[in-house]
Structure 1
């Protein structure tokens, strides 16, 4: 079996509302996941032994905390096969704690890639359920489509989002999701958006601009002034918002040229990237090519 190289795309939360806290301690939310054509890359190589190994230059994470390793081991326990060893090489470009899904996307790509390489035969529903056990954002990457999400983020409705180019700025700070969800300053009573507003599953920029908000934004900007500074700078050029529960901020533009011109002007010391929004994950497109070649 040849090596398998797959992307692990980033995501943006184009809106994020916290509706309340549940009896089990989790939060009820509504969000729109926009997948991007930019992200990490993973290469999977079969091993002759029974070992799972992960490498990533410059990134030292203990196995018990490494979502890639945990995803591989969970799949191995769930769907044992004769080929149960693999080496996974990660090329990391997405920041940790950025709110753009880097770790979750890496875990999802691991489930998808090893399911194909080991010929486990699990379907997307089974893989998404495995992903849910590891993190609430993983199923959207497993299913591979931009989506409207409810519950804790696991109830997904595929949507088609109008094409846009995004400037994403990466402030130099790492934000803990657990810290934000437990913080007393978090607003937890946003009004729900009804599904009737999404009945055609087509989300245009006008609707998204009307609904755009992130309930974590005021809290994050109070705790991390560098996030507020980045968002205010980007707001000179378009509506800018926080994504997810991380540090990254973004704004949408009509063309790649416009987006790259704005990124080039960013303040010194601020990292960032330009990406196109996509409705179908590039991971799934690459998997289809791999399946056709073996």
Structure 2
């Protein structure tokens, strides 16, 4: 199965919560950049990945959350990572969401989507969105998802090759009290007007990340030479540009591909 990445077209961090999370409002969009994952029945729960994973990761968290409700349901996971880790593209969240779907199917549990969401939110804020939507508005800590359709875009995603800790960003960023104009953002995206989109894209995490990692700001500044519609995704360190013209996207891709980890993608 393919575990698809996402980008944030908006990310407004509204307020901290007593549970340690933050209330957010975000417009997320899946793209066709994906990890490859296979899940099969097994005698024990195992993970075989082509890259080193932390001992505690989104897959172990998802499995623990599933077994806390349904008991031991061992599976073997084989994972080929393509999405950079710690990149703001939710690769780990996508893996966790697909594991929930796979265990449900392999063991014929008949989970409802609401039951899957309750498990997903125990794993991480992006996992509920990754369960079911190609695009959507996410609120609360991310568990409330309103699916929608944004149309066709080409994206060029660039990653500087290092991870950014979401926990660190949430702990040290300054909150932006200005409300997010979500409906305007959706409207201009659906009209495919890149100049208008550029004025509506917003990520409240950029100021802190840019101050700590000037390389990320430099990537966005350079991307801005190819398209006005560019933004950091999630807590970074990936930056993307949006395009409606294949030639323009290809020009940006060729420039960056010689310098940093680069992907040309399409909206799902």
Report the TM-score, using the length of structure 2 for normalisation.
Answer: 0.90
Instruction: Measure the CA separation in 1 of the matches of 2:100 and 2:245.
Output: 34
SS at match of 2:202: coil
Instruction: Measure the CA separation in 1 of the matches of 2:120 and 2:107.
Output: 17
Displacement after TM superposition at 1:257 (Å)? 4.4
1:262 aligns with 2:252: yes
Instruction: Measure the CA separation in 2 of the matches of 1:247 and 1:102.
Output: 13
Displacement after TM superposition at 1:218 (Å)? 1.5
- 1:286 aligns with none
Task: Find the partner of 1:76 among 67, 72, 81.
Answer: 67
- 1:10 aligns with 5
The answer (yes or no) to whether the contact 1:7–1:40 under 8 Å persists in 2 is: yes
- 2:233 aligns with 243
Instruction: Measure the CA separation in 1 of the matches of 2:18 and 2:197.
Output: 31
SS at match of 1:266: helix
Displacement after TM superposition at 1:174 (Å)? 1.1
1:107 aligns with 2:102: no
Gaps of 5+ in 2: none
Instruction: Measure the CA separation in 1 of the matches of 2:26 and 2:90.
Output: 14
The answer (yes or no) to whether the contact 1:19–1:190 under 8 Å persists in 2 is: no
Gaps of 5+ in 1: 1-5, 279-294
1:180 aligns with 2:175: no
Cα offsets for 1:229-276 (capped at 9, x unmatched): 111111101122101112000011114443233211117441110111
Could you say if the C-alpha distance between residues 151 and 167 of structure 1 is closer, same or farther in structure 2, counting changes exceeding 3 Å?
same
Instruction: Measure the CA separation in 1 of the matches of 2:113 and 2:59.
Output: 18
The answer (yes or no) to whether the contact 1:14–1:212 under 8 Å persists in 2 is: yes
Displacement after TM superposition at 1:151 (Å)? 1.7
1:1-294 paired onto structure 2 within 5 Å: 6-47=1-42, 49=43, 51-62=44-55, 65-80=56-71, 84-183=73-172, 185-193=173-181, 203-206=190-193, 208-238=197-227, 239-266=229-256, 268-278=258-268
Cα offsets for 1:13-58 (capped at 9, x unmatched): 00111223345443222110101111111101212x2x10001023
Q: How many residues align?
A: 265
Report the TM-score, using the length of structure 1 for normalisation.
Answer: 0.83
The answer (yes or no) to whether the contact 1:159–1:203 under 8 Å persists in 2 is: no
SS at match of 1:121: coil
